[in-house]
Amino acid sequence: MAQPPNVKRQLAAVFDMNKCLGCQTCTIACKTLWTDQEGMEYMWWNIVSTVPGQGTPRGWQELGGGFSDGVAQVSRIPTVSEFGQAWEFNYDDVFYGENGLNSYLQPKSGEDERGPLWDEDEASGDYPNSYFFYLQMICMHCTNPACLAACPRKAIYKRVDDGIVLIDEERCNGYRFCMEACPYKRIYFNHSQKVSQKCILCYPRIEQGVAPACFRQCPGRVRFIGFLDDAESAVHKLVKVWRVALPLHPERGTEPNVYYVPPLSPPLYDDDGEVIEGSERIPREYLESLFGPDVNRVLETLKAEVAKTRGGEKSEMLDTLIAYEWKSMFGGFTRDPGLLKRPT
Amino acid sequence: MDPAAPEWASAPAETLALQQTPWASQPSEYAQNAWKDRPYGQTGAVRIAAAHNGEALFFHLSWQDETKDDAIRDTTQFADGAGVLFPVRGDPMLQTMGAASQPVNAWYWRADLEAPISVTATGLGSTVRSTGGSLSAAGSYESGRWRVVISRPFAVQGQDLVALSPGQTGKVGFAVWQGSNQERAGVKATTADWLPLEIRE
């Protein structure tokens, strides 16, 4: 097995799943900033999918990849259809075809009927005990990236100063071994440039002290960023001190650097419509399938902290998660994006 | 330059056996594991004819291929390709794509690219695009067969490009990629070793 690359420091993210509204403002912030060019139509470097659900690309959690006991696991490249094709709409017909009263806006015929979020907001379980929550995905900027190890051209590298994983498009030949190997299936193929592309953690913003667009524009204050070893950063406290944020699918062996605060549940109702005290709507087994057994410890910690504040005590952990002051979320990456130097 | 020209069909030609590259020499563990139990490099043979006009050297490659893959419309699609490989300096091995200080120079044609690419390598996974490759190519697919002409002027300027001139002898190797089988990078069929190349006056 190849040695994971050495870095001096690692940027990490924490996504608080309890606060996500599923509004996709992050998704659009990324789309308009990075993936609005030809060949990138179907790309969503950031996506928020509904879980339990198929996600994007559909069924990615069953595709394998990553490492098991240090051995690279075989997977496959998802198709454009599985990622969700970018639909062409019948704008001409509705707006200019003098048919506006008879026609309605819809994907043109022949388009794949399933977009990237075809099961969005579809709940699991039976009413009134149905449930769903949102899973926010970007490139995990792994400590041991499967994409980097799989590339036969050494076109993928991890930046020494911040651990951001990037694809060198000059070296990339579009062989797509990275797309196969990534267990999170966060790499896309650009059909126009014939290279693989993915989330770059907005490194040009990071280099100028500005949080990535999906973090900065999140209206729900879901996303925290900072250096994992920066004792002052919220990320450090949540991951290392209070240990209430966990990596997604840790069993895939890539040591991802996006951590999730798992969702607390509302209670279940019994057949008479009465609340079952102490019950949880989201099955623990499902959460364990995402975050491993450690999720139980985290949920108990969070519940104890909530109980503490209900008793009138202060909780620095919950105050941090609530993020009364947005600047507290970004580990110093708080400069105004309006001051960014732009490429000419 | 017309790969379907009758002159190429009647030109002296040689049919060379191709074999799959060893899975264990794929330059990443993932690629090794992914192709260990999967057939590839089954093209079998490539027919080679060559000619020069005093200014440029032309190779005509043709091989059997049941499917024409000349465009990448989906993430899972790969294009058919062919390569002509030369040692540049020293005595590099073909199967390792050269070695440190013993570079190889490849002419890489791919059905979905507008122009062929000249690359140099000093070992597996080390290929870089060369400057001043000055290659041209034309491909045609008919009746289950690719016919490709790839050529380069004798006189070129650039780093680690193979020196070629009339009257010279050297070595050459060939490779074929089947796009329909997702063959790319080291996943290909090649000649087992170098073949003698003699460029007549």
List chain B domain ranges. 6-84+110-118+136-156+174-198
Cβ-based contacts of B186 with chain A (< 8 Å): 152
**Separation between Cα atoms, residue A238 and residue A12, nearest integer Å:** 11
| Six token digits for residue A69 | 């006991």
Interface pTM, i.e. ipTM? 0.94
Domain that holds residue A77: 11-85+115-336
Q: How long a stretch of residues is chain B?
A: 201
Lowest model confidence (mean pLDDT) among A79-88, A312-321, B58-67, B180-189: A79-88
Question: Do A2 and B29 count as a contact with CB atoms less than 8 A apart?
Answer: yes
- Give the contacts of B15 (CB within 8 A, at least 6 positions apart): B45, B46, B47, B48
State the average pLDDT over residues A301-315: 97
**What's the CATH number for B6-84+110-118+136-156+174-198?**
2.60.40.1190
Is A343 part of any domain?
A: no
- The mean pLDDT value for A200-226 works out to 97
Give the number of domains in chain A: 1
Residue A33 near residue A202, CB atoms below 8 Å: yes
Stretch A50-69: mean pLDDT: 97
Domain CATH code at residue A294 = 3.30.70.20
Could you report the per-residue pLDDT of A4-18, keeping only the tens digit for each? 889 999 999 999 999
Q: Identify each DSSP E strand in A234-301 by its residue range.
A: 246-247, 258-261
Q: How many CB atoms lie within 10 A of CB B62?
A: 25
Kindly report the nearest CA distance between residue A117 and chain B, in angstroms.
19
CB atoms within 10 A of CB A230: 16
Question: What is the rounded average pLDDT of the residues A239-263?
Answer: 98
The partner residue sitting opposite A72, judged by closest CB among B30, B73, B127, is B30
Q: List CB contacts (< 8 A) between B185 and chain A.
A: 152-153, 173, 175, 177
Strands (E), chain B: 13-17, 19-20, 45-52, 56-64, 81-87, 104-110, 117-121, 128-129, 136-142, 145-153, 169-177, 189-190, 195-198
Residue A343 above 80 pLDDT? Answer: no
Task: Choose among A152, A176, A188: nearest Cβ to B28.
Answer: A152
Q: List the 115-134 stretch of A: residues with Cβ below 8 A of B.
A: none
* Full-model pTM: 0.95
Q: In the prediction, which pLDDT does A11 show?
A: 98
So what's the pLDDT on residue A344?
Answer: 67
Q: Is A114 on the interface with B (CB under 8 A)?
A: no
Q: What percent of chain A shows pLDDT beyond 90?
A: 87
pLDDT at B201 (0 to 100): 87
The low-confidence residues of chain B, meaning pLDDT below 70, are none
State whether residue B61 is helix, strand or coil.
strand
pLDDT band at A81 (very low <50, low <70, confident <90, very high): very high
Predicted confidence (pLDDT) per residue in B102-137, tens digit: 999 999 999 999 999 999 999 998 999 988 789 999
Q: Is A83 on the interface with B (CB under 8 A)?
A: yes
Contact between B18 and B176 under an 8 Å Cβ cutoff? The reply is yes
Cβ of B28 and A149 within 8 Å?
yes
- The answer on pLDDT for A2 being more than 70 is no
Closest-CA distance, A74 to chain B, in angstroms, reads 5
